[in-house]
Structure 1
Amino acid sequence: MALGSFQIDTQPVRSERIDRLHKYVTSFAYGICPERGHYLTEFYKDNMSLPAIVRRAKAIDHVLQNMSIYIMPGSLFVGNQASKPRWAPLFPEFEVEWVEEELIKGNPYFPDERPADKYILREEDKPVIKSMCDWWAGKTHTDTLRARLPKDALATHYDLKAADIGTYFQGGDGHFAPDHEFLFTHGIQYIIDECQKKLDEINWNEPDAIKKKDFYDAAVVSANAIIKFAERYADLAEKTAAQETDGARKKELYEMAEICRRIPRYPAQNFREALQFIILVHICIQIEDNGAGVSFGRYDQFMYPLYKKGLADGSLTRDLALELTENFFLQIYTCNKVRSWVDTDFYRGVPMFQNLTIGGQHPVKKCDATNELSYICLDATFNTRVPQPSLTVRFHRNTPFEFKMKVAEVIRLGTGLPSIFNDETYIPALMNRGYELNDAYDYCVIGCVEPGTAGLLGGRTGGAWLNCTKILEMSLYNGTDPRTGICLHPNKNGKDLSTFESFEEVREAYLDQLAYYVKMEAILENTIDQVWEETLDEPMAAIFGCPTTTIPRGKPIKQGGAKYDLTGQQTIGTANVANSLYAIKKLVFDDKVITGAQLKHALETNFSDMSTDPSGVQIKAMCLQAPKYGNDIDEVDEIAREMLAAVANELVSYKNTRYGRGPIGGTLHCSTSTVSSNTPFGKVCGATPDGREAYTAVADGQSPMRGTDIKGPTAAIASVAKLNNILLSCGSLYNMKFSPADLV
């Protein structure tokens, strides 16, 4: 059976409830909801004198008490981020320029006219959106950043695209996993009591006493806000139940109301209550901050005790646990995010990166931790077939064979889930950045591919994109970008491709440019973090994300409240850099079949000049025929290894704004995640010596450049395995794709 027909021929096994709910949720087209932005703006207008973190807490409380809420037909859970499923709220405090340009003026498209990732926008909502844009003009996070960033960093981001951090201009941080187990075993009232106690104990002789008071005040407001939010659902469930004619559904609604009167104020008593607790926490975090990558941690580990308890007392069966998990998945799938059209190019397919991790090892016993819930999550993904939550599987050398086969069966559907992560690589990489052994063994995947321990990691695992292909291109033109003519940093040796006298000079020029643009990235990262700390610090993210450290320290995450704090990023174009440098080495300096000047002219003319000897087309053929990364060729793979290591080592030499303020780490660190950014980044890069034509997509992740790994998947894997993955503590991404026609 070919892969293309497998998903069609292999039908999901859904209960009547889940099938009906699935049809309901997936019937909604993406839309834009102005409620969150409207109520937040309404509060800010009259409360700008409040301390920033208290103002944010009270503003989100105002949103939660006024926004529309609903209960989906047949669902056993409540919790919605916007007025309709799959509609996205607006966050005008980050940036309103794109909102006004696109949503009001239709430049370059109205949201429902986009070539991809279209959104419904109701005509009656436009005046509300225009009003919030008018008030926020000149007051947003982006406005502050433009005033604070050095001109070279702004040019790096806006003009050259050598490093791009637009996602964090337009939106929040996200990229952490709350300590759900701590939260649902203690309850939110515990957090309120602890913060009240800390308020009473503040030593006013300490220089940070005022900051601590502001934090604890905001934490109490935020904790009470989620309790009141749950009570709104309890009221709605009771009202709906009173009107319900179906006896079974009436009973379910009254049960839901009873749960929401207790959860999340008090600890969860069973499997279903824990899931409702998790949903409410997750939804409120998403409303506070539209950052992607708010993840769930190791679901099969922290939910397993409640699963066993339910089986033992008869309140749960495997089938019911599966149905509840599938209901939970569909509830989470209702969350959405709208990005500007420019940012959408980097995130095609509306990804939210709400990652949920299963499998792996026990953090203390160091043995396989796979359990029945691991299989239930695979079944839930198999049956719901929705892209969120993003299911991740941890493999290690003792992962059971039957579990691996079940994973393969679900992957075979072609949905892209689950992703597979290797403990043998990720655990050493985390320990290399200072993680304690047990914490490293307890990692989950956050966002796309980034590892961290739920409840202990602050900072962010996402960050700026570093366009290494662009940096290589500028190194070949003595630091000048041939597309814009901008030169921020000439090569130290003052040479370009036409005048380099050895491959070592080429290598040195690239590493020199790389060091400069990593510095620009560090400036962008830290300026954004500093502005967040001053104006947009997030109390919910603090008390739900890292409650065991932020509350004792009296610090939110951006002030050093987490146990571990590392600023991540994404490195783009590893394969293009390796292939291009090797092509220069072989063609110009080793074999001497062309000169550097001839190659430079071919690049400048996009291999199209037929008047030269050899012609541009012939030079392109030479470049393409040069050995490539992804074919288990040591000489090329070693260049890839060295250049990616150079990025990682340069990044970690820079401290983030939390360094020395409590957390372990406090540096930048490297990942090879790309999402779909390799396409827009290619649009700013001219022709490169690997034979890639100008303004076409570059390579994704640490995968070989498409079409160049010609010796089969084993050789490609061998090349990737030679990279120094222990340095990639923010995540390693290798995409291996097969044509369905090749799989029978």
Structure 2
Amino acid sequence: MNDMNSFQIDTQPVRTERIDKLHKYVTSFDYGICTERGHYLTEFYKDNMSLVPVVRRAKAIDYVLENMSIYIMPGSLFAGNQTSNPRWAPLFPEFEVEWVEEELLKGNPYYPWERPADKYTLREEDKADVKDMCAWWAGKTHTDTLRARLPKEALTTHYDLKAADIGTYFQGGDGHFAPDHQWLFENGIEHIIKESEKYRDEIDWHEPDAIKKKDFYDAAIISANAIIKFAERYAVLAEEMAAKETDEVRKKELLEIADTCRWVPRKPARNFKEALQFVIFVHICIQIEDNGAGVSFGRYDQFMYPMYKKGIKDGTLTRELAVELTENFFLQIYTCNKVRSWIDTDFYRGVPMFQNLTIGGQDPVKKCDATNELSYICLDATYHTRVPQPSLTVRFHKNTPFEFKMKVAEVIRLGTGLPSIFNDETYIPALMNRGYELNDAYNYCIIGCVEPGTAGLLGGRTGGAWLNCTKSLEMSLYNGTDPITGICLHKNFNNKDLSTFESFEEAKAAYLDQIKYYIKMEAILENTIDQVWEESLEEPMAAIFGCPTTTIPRGKPIKQGGAKYDLTGQQTIGTANVANSLYAIKKLIFDDKIITGLQLKHALETNFQDMTTKPTGAQIKALCLSVPKYGNDVDEVDEIAREMLAFVANELVSYKNTRYGRGPIGGTLHCSTSTVSSNTPFGKVCGATPDGREAFTAVADGQSPMRGTDIKGPTAAIASVAKLNNILLSCGSLYNMKFSPADLC
């Protein structure tokens, strides 16, 4: 076994007895589906459909929190659970029940417990509950409303062509924000209640939005009280457990948990442990309300550091205890889960939750390195717990300490994929390019996968529709027609195809024409979803915890313009395939004239399999593969990648979202190259492409080179990626660099 393969085995984690037992307990649970949240929400909705939507949602979540199962894990120093068992996922029938019925009850295409990957169990006794939920919600869901209101072209784009796919936000909530946890645990939830009551009492009823404000404040007060009552349930439970506990040490811990849960989140946190318990309660309740991935934590080492210093100074905290508490916190968060339909799972393999936690970076005021002891403690916690959530990310800048970089490298070497690294020198200018104030840009955290934003100030969503650039490219080669389905929504502006293009400029212009049309379709999908959410699924908890310093004074939830910054993100898939394909067309057809457009078009139509032509399909594929590719520091190819991605980014920003002009800074769509695993399902709907890629195979991920084509080493690949106009990628830049273990021996 080589050094790289054995490193994770040879470097065993160092855990306290508590953390080791808790780790074994949490990881002993298979993924499962819990029906409680869906059951209680449906029960409430059945009798309360006449309520104002935002108030109805607040009361429904309050009802769920009052009735769902709660527990305290063995040995844990914290309370808070999302479902009836660790790593089980709740159901959210208000978003969509079709896939729930098809998969959980009919096994189409699989029962969740029979899936090829990402399997979930479901108890036999819960199936009747699922059936009842599906029956009541049929025709009433978010997805039902969207299908009724979206134009046919947008539905075709999403369902049939997959030129843009936004199924995540048909089936689930928004997520993708980071609460201002420091503000929350320094003020307490009672402060939110008092502020909301004050603003409600001061409403000027002559204002045209007065009734909307009143509804929001009512919902805010209900939601704030709901989390206080939720914490009180754990206080009672802890006392009951303590009364039965024979171990005196554990009895004392349980009584301390009870005391903590009666204090936070009602009151401001008094110490490091209480601050963490506050964060857990807020996070869990948002997850129960929202059903979105990417509910993130912000800059943990910054907002927790004052509490850390206070504890060290007064002797109530040691570094060792801080490590154990952070590891306990990590395992508590790891219990959260989300179940997706099998189709959506293809885009999110590995059950990712994107509960991102950021460390490192710079002080937003002093503009100097902000690395502190908690930065290292988080790395230690990731090293020893070795769980994929929270998603640890690190901010690097030109003055990041060398020893911190080496510690980061040591943790990455484990092979868990954590932490990810983000570059301040790129991200800060990109945010300022979208209107962020300087200090806010310096204070960014990573939200979701790779998306930057300032905790407590960003609404909208950082994740959005997947834009399948490879599909737009393919349709541009067939005069706007999808060769797989035969559907044509938009002919090329010049009414030509690959066999009749007279110049490379015509080919490039045809692609830009197609991608421009499908960006418009994406904007329609994004804004229709947001409008429907605003009308019927506005989230008061997300508002008062996600952006408390702006939503409460404005009297507006996030979808009505309550955040300081509001931008709608998206994911751009297949940059490398587009650049490589366009360059192959330029080189083989127009520059060197080795083959004609008609010959290449036939080779693509036959997936390079026709051996009767001259040259044969296989020979044409070899020619396509031989052309220089993006990722090898070849300026001519890299410039095409830069130009094509910049066009997409600038075109997206030309579209406004539903919050534009309603208070926030921004109010547009913007661009990301985040991919997760979507490059695989997007490849399944794309035929062969001029870069030599065969039909129905995966396309490139993020802004990474296409796999197997970056043949000049990592330095050349990085040089190509660096040529992209990353300042335009204000929703995040993703470059995955992967090494074979043998290469690192």
Report the equivalent of 1:601: 602
Report the equivalent of 1:722: 723
Structure 1 distance, partners of 2:304, 2:547, is 19
Report the equivalent of 1:48: 49
Structure 1 distance, partners of 2:13, 2:3, is 18
Report 1:474-553 matches (<5 A). Answer: 474-553=475-554
Report 1:334-413 matches (<5 A). Answer: 334-413=335-414
Report 1:314-713 matches (<5 A). Answer: 314-713=315-714
For 1:219, give the aligned amino acid. A
Report the equivalent of 1:76: 77
Report the equivalent of 1:226: 227
Secondary structure of the structure 2 residue equivalent to 1:282: helix
Structure 1: which 5+ runs fail to align? Answer: none
Q: Deviations over 1:463-517 (max 9, x none)?
A: 0000000000000000000000000000000000000000000011000001100
For residue 576 of structure 1, report the CA deviation from its aligned partner: 0.1
Matched, 1:21 2:14: no
Report the equivalent of 2:8: 7
Report the equivalent of 2:99: 98
For 2:457, give the aligned amino acid. L
Secondary structure of the structure 1 residue equivalent to 2:370: coil
Report the equivalent of 1:298: 299
Q: Deviations over 1:264-296 (max 9, x none)?
A: 000000000000000000000000011000000
Structure 1 distance, partners of 2:670, 2:324, is 39
Secondary structure of the structure 1 residue equivalent to 2:422: strand
For residue 156 of structure 1, report the CA deviation from its aligned partner: 0.1
Structure 2 distance, partners of 1:107, 1:608, is 33
For residue 447 of structure 1, report the CA deviation from its aligned partner: 0.1
The aligned length equals 744
For 2:97, give the aligned amino acid. V
Secondary structure of the structure 2 residue equivalent to 1:358: strand
For residue 632 of structure 1, report the CA deviation from its aligned partner: 0.2
Report the equivalent of 1:124: 125
For residue 722 of structure 1, report the CA deviation from its aligned partner: 0.1
For 1:638, give the aligned amino acid. E
For residue 256 of structure 1, report the CA deviation from its aligned partner: 0.3
Structure 2 distance, partners of 1:255, 1:508, is 67
Runs (4+) of structure 1 exceeding 2 A deviation are none
Structure 2 distance, partners of 1:206, 1:51, is 19
Report the equivalent of 1:61: 62
Q: Deviations over 1:40-74 (max 9, x none)?
A: 00000000000000000000000000000000000
Secondary structure of the structure 2 residue equivalent to 1:459: strand
Secondary structure of the structure 2 residue equivalent to 1:152: helix
Structure 2 distance, partners of 1:136, 1:458, is 28
Report the equivalent of 2:744: 743
Secondary structure of the structure 2 residue equivalent to 1:566: strand
TM-score norm. by structure 2 comes to 1.00
For 2:169, give the aligned amino acid. Y
For residue 4 of structure 1, report the CA deviation from its aligned partner: 1.0
Structure 2 distance, partners of 1:602, 1:590, is 19
Q: Deviations over 1:527-563 (max 9, x none)?
A: 0000000000000000000000000000000000000
Structure 1 distance, partners of 2:106, 2:113, is 13
Structure 1 distance, partners of 2:442, 2:185, is 22
Structure 1 distance, partners of 2:153, 2:357, is 39
Secondary structure of the structure 2 residue equivalent to 1:730: coil
The percentage of aligned residue pairs carrying the same residue is 87
Structure 1 distance, partners of 2:245, 2:106, is 44
Structure 2 distance, partners of 1:79, 1:128, is 24
Structure 2 distance, partners of 1:676, 1:514, is 21
Q: Deviations over 1:344-401 (max 9, x none)?
A: 0000000000000000000000000000000000000000000000000000000000
Secondary structure of the structure 1 residue equivalent to 2:421: strand
Please report the RMSD computed on the Cα atoms of aligned residues, expressed in angstroms.
Answer: 0.4
Secondary structure of the structure 2 residue equivalent to 1:458: strand
Report the equivalent of 2:147: 146
For residue 3 of structure 1, report the CA deviation from its aligned partner: 1.4
For 1:325, give the aligned amino acid. T
Report the equivalent of 1:286: 287
Structure 1 distance, partners of 2:348, 2:641, is 25
Secondary structure of the structure 2 residue equivalent to 1:222: helix
For 1:38, give the aligned amino acid. H
For residue 427 of structure 1, report the CA deviation from its aligned partner: 0.1
Structure 2 distance, partners of 1:39, 1:10, is 45
TM-score norm. by structure 1 comes to 1.00
For residue 665 of structure 1, report the CA deviation from its aligned partner: 0.2
Structure 1 distance, partners of 2:560, 2:286, is 18
Structure 1 distance, partners of 2:5, 2:725, is 35
Structure 2: which 5+ runs fail to align? Answer: none
For residue 741 of structure 1, report the CA deviation from its aligned partner: 1.7
Secondary structure of the structure 1 residue equivalent to 2:130: helix
Secondary structure of the structure 2 residue equivalent to 1:682: helix
For 1:543, give the aligned amino acid. I
Secondary structure of the structure 1 residue equivalent to 2:461: coil
Structure 2 distance, partners of 1:262, 1:399, is 38
For residue 740 of structure 1, report the CA deviation from its aligned partner: 1.1
Structure 2 distance, partners of 1:741, 1:249, is 47
Structure 2 distance, partners of 1:3, 1:241, is 46
For 1:392, give the aligned amino acid. T
Secondary structure of the structure 2 residue equivalent to 1:665: strand
For residue 309 of structure 1, report the CA deviation from its aligned partner: 0.4
Report the equivalent of 1:199: 200
For residue 436 of structure 1, report the CA deviation from its aligned partner: 0.1
